């Protein structure tokens, strides 16, 4: 058992950290204030190989593993959570679904532009009335000659209106529940595809979120990923990786908040001493450090297991649950260390707090992660596989 990163990855991490701190961190507050999609820095991330980290080199990716991916994602998130979300979205389902379930022709056509960051991918699953409960999806895909007509509204689409390619889940057989849902790739300029105004969110303003409207959008058979009816199950399996990504992002945000609070507590004087010398401050800092370490280890364990081909449903949900709750705790406790100063935009902590809040919601709320973990542990109990 080893807990250190190998030299190549440690070196790459330093490289990504330098980029994130020099190029992204200085503009994060401005992007937040303007709710601006950060096209230039995303392109630079693509050139660094960060937009297809685990996609094989033959499809234009960096050919690294999930451990590398979460390591880089933490670094980006420590500079700006919105960049990390955008990185996670395009690295995630669009590429993962193509790799796991796409045909060779689809992979060759779609992966290189995505993995190199020349194009940006988005994922459309949730609907206004259906989030955690996918069986309630209403977007329909109806057979039309050599393809389908898609009609419906998707909600909470990150990079909606900005992305070049949309992975959309739609119902092909309304009587088959989760097994009646198929996955389709739709280019941004498809007829009938339109986007709502950006949502006004609590945080992660630069990771623009919109609704996506499908008005009889035609999708040829060639752009359906996998077999008809397999889209939902395939997406759910691929979501495991997505959850590890959100967990890594949570660790990054928490780390940034913790470092800021620690530096402040080292400088700020009250009652004649640096406030870090008071246990009222040093204990919360110790708690932050402990929880962040535990969260990162859960992330690395899940990534490690995924790299070895294990099923990581439980491990991914545990990592996401713990890391996102940690980010909530840490950003709040860090803000409290700064007091009134932390409540203003003179310091980045209030942004970290706003940005972190959604990690307990997207890619399955914390409540849904508990559902997943509970289901898995009951299964282990029934099989006599408790660890």
Residues that bind another protein in the complex, under the rule CB under 8 A? 126, 129, 131-133, 135-136, 155-156, 199-203, 269-272, 280-281, 328, 332, 335-336, 339-340, 342-346, 350, 353-354, 357-358, 360-362, 365-367, 370-371
When the beta carbons of 228 and 325 are compared against another protein, the nearer one is 325
278 DSSP 8-state letter:
S
Pairing mode of beta strands 269-270, 181-187: unpaired
When the beta carbons of 90 and 209 are compared against another protein, the nearer one is 209
When the beta carbons of 115 and 295 are compared against another protein, the nearer one is 295
Minimum gap (Å) between residue 107 Cβ and another protein: 31
Q: How far apart are CA 239 and CA 236, in angstroms?
A: 5
Backbone angles phi, psi at 155, to 5 degrees: -120, 160
230 DSSP 8-state letter:
B
Minimum gap (Å) between residue 369 Cβ and another protein: 11
When the beta carbons of 145 and 280 are compared against another protein, the nearer one is 280
Minimum gap (Å) between residue 91 Cβ and another protein: 21
How would DSSP label each residue in 364-375? S-HHHHHHHHHH
Backbone angles phi, psi at 151, to 5 degrees: -140, 130
When the beta carbons of 99 and 372 are compared against another protein, the nearer one is 372
Find the Cα–Cα–Cα–Cα dihedral 100, 50, 309, 296, rounded to 10°.
Answer: -140
Minimum gap (Å) between residue 63 Cβ and another protein: 34
When the beta carbons of 103 and 129 are compared against another protein, the nearer one is 129
Asked if residue 95 lies in contact with residue 116, where contact means CB atoms within 8 angstroms, the answer is no
Minimum gap (Å) between residue 373 Cβ and another protein: 12
Residue with tokens 């990534």: 303
Residues 6+ positions from 376 with CB-CB distance below 8 Å: 313, 314, 317
- Catalytic residue, chosen from 75, 325, 363, 385, is 363
Closest by alpha carbon to 117, among 55, 169, 31?
55
Q: Which residues of 14-27 are buried (b: 16+ CB within 10 A; e: fewer)?
A: eebbebbeebbbeb
Q: How far apart are CA 270 and CA 13, in angstroms?
A: 37
Catalytic (active site) residue 363: yes
Minimum gap (Å) between residue 272 Cβ and another protein: 8
Q: Residue 338: CA atoms inside 13 Å, Cβ hemisphere, count? A: 25
How would DSSP label each residue in 130-176? BSS-GGG---EEEEETTEEEEEEEEEEEETTTT-SEEEEEEES-GGG
Q: Any idea which residues carry the catalytic annotation?
A: 363
């Amino acid at each position: 058992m080893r807990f250190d990163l190998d030299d190549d990855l440690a070196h790459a991490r330093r490289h990504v950290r330098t980029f994130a701190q020099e190029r992204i961190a200085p503009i994060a507050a401005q992007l937040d204030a303007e709710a601006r999609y950060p096209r230039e820095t995303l392109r630079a991330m693509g050139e660094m190989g960060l937009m297809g980290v685990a996609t094989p080199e033959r499809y234009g990716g960096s050919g690294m593993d999930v451990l590398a991916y979460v390591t880089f994602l933490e670094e980006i998130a420590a500079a700006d959570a919105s960049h990390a979300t955008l990185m996670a979205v395009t690295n995630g389902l669009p590429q993962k679904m193509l790799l796991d379930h796409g045909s060779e022709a689809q992979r060759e056509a779609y992966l290189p532009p995505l993995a190199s960051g020349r194009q940006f991918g988005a994922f459309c699953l949730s609907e206004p009335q259906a989030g955690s409960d996918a069986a309630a999806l209403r977007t329909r895909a109806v057979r039309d000659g050599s393809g389908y007509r898609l009609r419906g509204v998707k909600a909470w689409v990150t990079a909606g209106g900005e992305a070049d390619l949309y992975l959309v889940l739609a119902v092909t057989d309304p009587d088959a529940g989760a097994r009646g849902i198929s996955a389709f790739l739709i280019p941004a300029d498809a007829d009938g595809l339109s986007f709502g105004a950006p949502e006004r969110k609590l945080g992660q303003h630069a990771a623009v979120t919109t609704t996506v409207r499908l008005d009889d959008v035609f999708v040829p058979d060639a752009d359906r990923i996998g077999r008809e009816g397999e889209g939902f199950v395939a997406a759910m399996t691929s979501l495991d990786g997505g959850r590890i990504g959100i967990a890594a992002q949570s660790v990054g945000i928490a780390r940034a908040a913790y470092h800021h609070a620690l530096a402040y507590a080292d400088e700020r004087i009250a009652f004649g001493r640096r406030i870090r010398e008071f246990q009222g401050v040093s204990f919360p800092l110790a708690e932050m450090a402990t929880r962040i370490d535990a969260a990162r280890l859960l992330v690395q364990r899940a990534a490690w297991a995924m790299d070895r081909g294990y099923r990581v449903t439980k491990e991914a949900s545990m990592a996401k649950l713990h890391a996102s709750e940690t980010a909530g705790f840490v950003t709040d406790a860090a803000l409290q260390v700064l007091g009134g100063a932390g409540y203003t935009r003179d310091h980045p902590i209030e942004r970290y707090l706003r940005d972190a809040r959604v990690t307990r919601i997207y890619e399955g709320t914390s409540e849904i992660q508990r559902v997943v973990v509970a289901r898995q542990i009951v299964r282990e109990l029934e099989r006599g596989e408790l660890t």
